[in-house]
Structure formats: C-alpha cells, structure tokens
Structure 1
Amino acid sequence: MGIQSRPFSALVLVSCLLLASCANDTVGVASKADQEALIQKAAVAAPNIQAGDKIRVTVFGEDRLTGEYQVDPAGFVSLPLAGTVKAAGLSKQQMEKTLAVKFSGEYLRDPKVTVDLASFRPFYILGEVNKPGEYDYKSGLNIVSALAVAGGTTYRASTSNIDIQHVGESGFKKYPISSNIPVLPGDLIRVPMRYF
C-alpha cells in the first residue's frame, strides 16, 4: 500500500508545484496609480514605433521607396537606399527626419518623407476564454472588447479580475475587468479561473 501511494503523492506534489509556479507569475495588484498611468498611456494620440509594428513610408515622387516595412524584434527596419535603421522608440516625426537624412545626399535632393503606423503589434489573450490566441490590435481596444474578440470567457473565468503583462514588464498585474482599462499593443492578457 505504501508503494502504491508514492506515485500518487509524487503526482500531488508536482501538481502543487505547478500551481504555485503559476501563482507566482502575477506580480501584484495594479494600484489606482497604475490604472491611471495605463489609461494616460493609452490616451497618447501618436505612440512611438515599437518592435513588431509595421510602418508605411511614403517618399514623395519616389514610388520605389514607398511601401510598408516591418520593424524587426530588435527594433530595426530595413529600407531600400537607407539600409537598416533603428526605429523602435522613435516618434513618427523623428522617424521621418531620420529617413530624410538617410535618403538625402547622393540619392535624393531634399526628400519629403512621411511615416505612418500601418499596423501595431498584436495582443495575446490566454486562460479562461473561448478562443485564446493572438489578435490584431486596434486603436481604442479595452479589456471588455478584447474579451469579446476572444469569444468571451468560459464559465470558469473570474468575473472580477484579469491579469495583464505589458511589453517590458517582468510579470503580470491584476486589473479589474472594466471597459475603462485599455489594452496596449503587445499586451499579454490572462483570464484567471475563479475560485468557487
């Protein structure tokens, strides 16, 4: 009997360790200040370019240079004649000036360059949702609309809190499920299971 109970107790121990490690993924509860900072960050009309974004570059009168370009995971973008350029962290205006300098000289005289964000990094949602996965980010996205995009929550989902990890953060923070909590490009959203 003692021999047969060892595999069961080992299974219980492994299960407890896995549950404990999952619980440690959450950094803590987002304070009111965290929530306000997130809302203000989302309200910024023109976010800086980030890795994973796709930019649309238009060079007036130069169709061969005009097009959409993907910013690689390291934050660089490769363009004809300009070569590889650091894009992550730059505003739209800063990127326009950088490209104008790169294109001018022996290639073009006084180039007129515009840069727009063609698409943002996707956001990811996992946990107790009907369709977990990667989804295209759209401006104005909030927690409630992100849950709707993922097919809604399962019957086991928490109805009060959600975990979010923003790009550059080391772990998740708990936020209330509310339409005033925005989702940012690249966010990792986890819908936890409720406790019965």
Structure 2
Amino acid sequence: MIRRIYLCLLALLMALSINSANAADTPIGPGDGLKISVFGNPDLSLETKVSDAGNITFPLIGAVGIGGLSAAEAEKKISGMLIEGGFLRKAEVNITVTELQSQQVSILGQVLHPGRYAIAGKRSVTDMLAMAGGVGPEGGDTAVVVRTRSGKTSKQVVNLQDMIQAADMKANLDLVNGDMIYVDRAPKFYIYGEVQHPGGYRLERNMTIAQALSIGGGLTPRGTERGVRIKRRDSKGNFLMIDATRDEILQTDDVVYVKESLF
C-alpha cells in the first residue's frame, strides 16, 4: 500500500513538473506534419509532411528545404521565396507543427506505457516519464538515462526517489532527440521455509530480516527465528550461506530460509 501511494505521488509530481514546451523552437525534420497558411491567400494553404530529404512542395515555389529549421525560420524562408519570386508583394506565413515525428525519446522498461514519445522544446527526465504514465508497480527507484552529445554517448543513473524527496532537480536531465530512458525492475528478495507466505518480494532500502519476516506473513507455528539463514551470491557469483540475525540487512536476490523449530 505504501509503495502504491508513493508511485501515485511520484507520477503526480512528475506530471506537475512538465513545463509548456515551445514547438516553434524545435527543429523540423523528416516525417513531421505541417499546416501552412499565408494570410489573405487561402489558395496557398497546405497540409503536408516533410520528406526524408527534409523538403516540402509548396504552391508556386515548388520544393523548399526546411529540414533543421525551426517553424519561425521556415516561415521566414517561404515568405522570402514568395516575395523574391514575384508571387506576392507581402507574405505573412504561418506554420503549425501538427505531428512531430522527427524528435523522439525512447522510454523503456518498467513504465506504464513504454514506447517512443515526441518531444517539442525542452523536456526533462520527469517530463518524459510522466508522458509514459509514470513508473509501473514493478519499477525501481532509479532510471538509466542514455544521451548522445557531440558524438559521444554517456550513461547516467538518476535516483528518482532521492530527487523527489529532496526536491533537488539537478539530476533531472534535459533530453533531446535520440535519448533513451530505461527504468529497471525493482530489486527483490525471496523467503521460504516456515513462513506464512513464502515467495519473492520487493526489496526496500535497508530492509532487515525482521522486516522480511513480517512481509512474509510471519512465522508458521513450527517456525523459529533462531537459525534463519541467507543464501547469497558473492562478487564472483558463488553462493554463500550466512547465519542471519534479525538486524541483518538484505541484499538484492537474497534467499531467506526459515527453519523448523526442533521443539
């Protein structure tokens, strides 16, 4: 229940952090849908998509290369071509981006709606996670962000829980076309033997054996806390058997075994 409340609050905070993006500043690219009009000249109105080469075909002037330009820059270019070609004495061009396909960020892993999402203007990690519906119930507290800048690809881990709780947005990275966010599955531990509800459970930070027993429903009438053991992999991948106390801190993928009392 606590985890579910946290996820709802996290999704809400991420949704509230989305600022209004200015699509006019976003470069136009292949696949983008445009609606173009010229004031006072309804016959020049056009709805089109940008070709793979970054071009559109506009009435009177033909092919126009607008790939890489902002909407405002493309408006100025078309206006200039209409005037310089002698078609209009004054051309007030307006471009609306109706479909943004050239600028996208991939959001993968444990989010409610993974996929590729269009970005218009400045977007952050929390903005994009909110677009994907937030972190899912099986998601962890961290997101891996892969970004490419100046030809160099880097990876950074963002701890969403720490960032939200501390209200410190320094790690809320800005994203551009081609970036990727991956939310991994939350770590788990496993408990079996003489407990009421054996199985795998979400591992919370600094969880102890006593807390794990509680999550497992407590001991059966035949169970005993004496002699609880943990099966754990070491750094080389070998299994270790550890005699545990109530205050032992669990690690990812630990297997807790509760023995049967001899008396």
Would you call these one fold, judging by a TM-score over 0.5?
Answer: yes
* Structure 1 position 63 matched with structure 2 position 42: yes
**Offset at residue 173 of structure 1 (A):** 2.8
* Displacement after TM superposition at 1:95 (Å): 1.6
Q: Secondary structure at the match of 1:146?
A: helix
Measure the CA separation in 1 of the matches of 2:128 and 2:62.
37
Of Structure 1 and Structure 2, the greater helix share is in 1
Give, in whole Å, the separation in 1 of the partners of 2:185 and 2:51. 35
CA deviation vs aligned residue, 1:90-121 (integer Å, no higher than 9, x gap): 23343223212332335333322233444433
| Structure 2 counterpart of 1:151 | 133
Question: Hey, what does 1:110 align to over in structure 2?
Answer: 90
Change (3 A) 1:165 1:83: farther
| Structure 2 contact 147–179 (Cα < 8 Å) conserved | yes
Aligned with 1:84: secondary structure?
strand
- Structure 1 pair 187–81 and aligned structure 2 pair: CA distance change class (3 A): farther
Structure with greater strand percent: 2
Deviates more, 1:78-87 or 1:163-172: 163-172
CA contact under 8 A between 2:30 and 2:52: conserved in structure 1? yes
Counterpart in 2 of 1:128?
Answer: 110
109 and 175 in structure 1: CA distance in 2 versus 1, 3 angstrom threshold: farther
Question: TM-score, with normalisation over the residues of structure 2?
Answer: 0.46
Q: State the match for 2:176 in structure 1.
A: 184
Q: Residue 71 and residue 147 in structure 1: after superposition, are their counterparts in 2 closer, same or farther (change >3 A)?
A: same
Does 2:23 align with 1:47?
Answer: no
- Partner SS state of residue 103, structure 1: helix
| Percent of paired sites with the same residue | 28
Q: Is 2:65 the counterpart of 1:83?
A: no
Paired residue secondary structure (1:147): helix
1:22-56 Cα offsets, whole Å, 9 max, x none, are xxxxxxxxxxxxxxxxxxxx899823333343333
Using structure 1 for the length normalisation, give the TM-score: 0.58
Per-residue Cα deviation, 1:57-115 (whole angstroms, up to 9, x for no partner):
22111112223432233322232223222112223343223212332335333322233
Over 3 Å counting, the alpha-carbon distance change for 1:132 and 1:44 in structure 2 is closer
Aligned partner letter, 2:75:
E
State the 1:132 CA deviation. 1.3
Counterpart-to-counterpart distance in 1, 2:86 and 2:37: 19
